A and B are shown apart, each in its own frame.
Chain A
Amino acid sequence: MSGFPALTSGHRPVGVVSFAQHDNVRRDGEHNDVEMLLPVIAEVFGNVGITKDDVGFICSGSTDYLVGGPFSFVGALDAVGVWPPRAESHVEMDGAWALYEAWVLLQEGEIDSALVYSFGRSSPGNLSEILALQLDPYYMAPLWPDPCSLAALQAQALIDTGRASEADFAAVAARARRSALGNPKAQLAYDRSPEELLREDYEVAPLRRHALPPLTDGCAAIVLAAGDRAYELCERPAFITGIDHRVETHALGARDLTRSASTTLAGQKAGVGKAGVDVAELHAPFAHQELILVDALGLADDVEVSPSGGALAANPIMSAGLIRIGEASTRIWSGLADRAVAHATSGPCLQQNLVCVLEGV
């Protein structure tokens, strides 16, 4: 027992004590969602020697639009086993927001631990069309704009401010894919220079292939534990000292796409700037978005950004945000970092953002 860090959010220390993720693949055509989750749930419990019967709450993040079937989150509970009846909830969002809900419940003090998981595949449907349906139904969705085109508008706007160039995007992608070489779960990793990447053709100008995330099937899970329970399960828990999420208008034309006001606000509320940051795992599916996020969070030059390779290395939809929290936590557990920032995004062009500060004692 080593005590607890000072909290910016909430009053009860809640730590990430276990994390597991599926192999990130372009297409898992063999397993259904339940079969993909089974080994991940078993691993996340097995890491800390507990079972489903030991957690007080279960919360998941997913969306039925990905598989085109109703209530897939109810079916996915078969991977956990919910008998006797369990306190359970679900968000139609990335698992990072499911973690937020579990964190809120843990603050109330009635339970000491929770399972959070998320799942989603990019492969069953046409992701470009599916994601168009999250846009406003009157002016945007009927145009079916795909996420790469919307991100390209954002990237061009960023270039137009003079704050970044295509070479900067290539530098982000080169660093992320090189970092990913050390991540066994990475789907896309390589050692190529920014100069080489800049010779690629445009996918959607000004974005070249390297600036885009891979399409990924995957899932992930985390166990949270509060107070003393965290130390029972983990030698050095990654305590959530600050967590907050903010959303911007769905009207893309009403936003300054080159800034992420919601990330800045969430970062302030989570206390990112209260002390130095060793590592930041940022959910930036497109290379230029990392630049916007680093700026929005006010991260110093010496902060190690997305050592896992981030969403450019693997972008399992609905899980890539939760995985950022898991990856940041692993660095606290190992002692590589004392203070980490994890970020998750949702919606087009960084519309909604969650920021989480993790600290070890």
Chain B
Amino acid sequence: MSEPVTMMAAPMRLDYVFTPGVAQGKNMHGLERGVFIGQRCPKCKKVYTLSRGSCPTDGVPTDEIVELSNTGTVTTYCVVNVPFAGQSIELPYICAQILLDGANLSFMGLIQEIPAGEIRMGLRVEAVWVPPDELGPTMASVKYFRPNGEPDAAFETYKEYL
């Protein structure tokens, strides 16, 4: 009698075509030029970075396009010390929420050119982009953020965005 089957492998893979939509398309074309794009809600006037095209508070289209600054503030952060599969950055490294100047929504970015022990809330940073001929419609166009030398931002300026 043959051995009972105790395990079976059923490999699965699905491929997709991603539709960024009008709003994310504008963001991606901005990244292609080395510029962050925000979109302003006509109702609450908040500016969303990497918007999907709608104000998540008011549920209305964010049609107004705003070019955002290349500088921002670290609102909060995490120092990564744990190795994981597919890791491409040397440990330890810093992951931070960055609030660009003029934006009302932060997003996650990599912080470099500062020792992990010196990262702090309120740190002022600037985006470092890949060389112009490598820019593309992707967040990979942003190599990382680094301190820009300005004094730390006061907590009051970003306390709403934690």
A residues in contact (CB < 8 Å) with B: 28-35, 38, 41, 52, 65, 67-68, 75, 77-83, 121, 123-126, 129-130, 133, 137-138, 141-142
Contacts and interface: CB of A to CB of B under 8 A. Distances in A.
A30 B54 contact: no
27 contacts: A30-B21, A31-B19, A32-B21, A32-B52, A33-B21, A35-B22, A35-B61, A38-B60, A67-B16, A68-B16, A77-B56, A79-B54, A81-B54, A81-B55, A81-B57, A81-B58, A81-B59, A81-B60, A82-B57, A83-B57, A124-B19, A125-B15, A125-B16, A126-B15, A129-B14, A130-B14, A133-B12
B55 A31 contact: no
Looking at B10, B14, B57, the one whose CB has the most chain A CB atoms below 10 A away is B14
B122 interface: no
B23 interface: yes
Nearest to A80: B59
A58 to B, nearest CB: 10
9 shortest A-B CB distances, which residue pairs?
A: A81-B59, A32-B21, A68-B16, A83-B57, A142-B10, A78-B56, A78-B54, A35-B53, A125-B16
B8 interface: yes
Contacts of A30: 19, 21-22
Interface of B: 8, 10, 12, 14-24, 52-61
A35 B21 contact: yes
Nearest to A45: B59
A30 to B, nearest CB: 6
A55 to B, nearest CB: 12
B19 A29 contact: yes
Contact of B8 (A121, A124, A130, A138): A138
A67 to B, nearest CB: 7
Given A32-B21, A78-B59, A125 B14 contact: yes
B5 to A, nearest CB: 10
Given A38-B54, A38-B61, A75-B52, A32 B14 contact: no
Nearest to A217: B19
Contacts of B53: 31-32, 34-35, 38, 78
B22 A31 contact: yes
A287 to B, nearest CB: 28
A126 B14 CA distance: 8
Contacts of A138: 8
A78 B55 contact: yes
A18 to B, nearest CB: 16
Contacts of A38: 53-54, 59-61
A22 to B, nearest CB: 14
A165 to B, nearest CB: 37
A123 B17 contact: yes
B60 A32 contact: no
B14 A68 contact: yes
Nearest to A123: B17
Contact of A32 (B16, B24, B59): B24
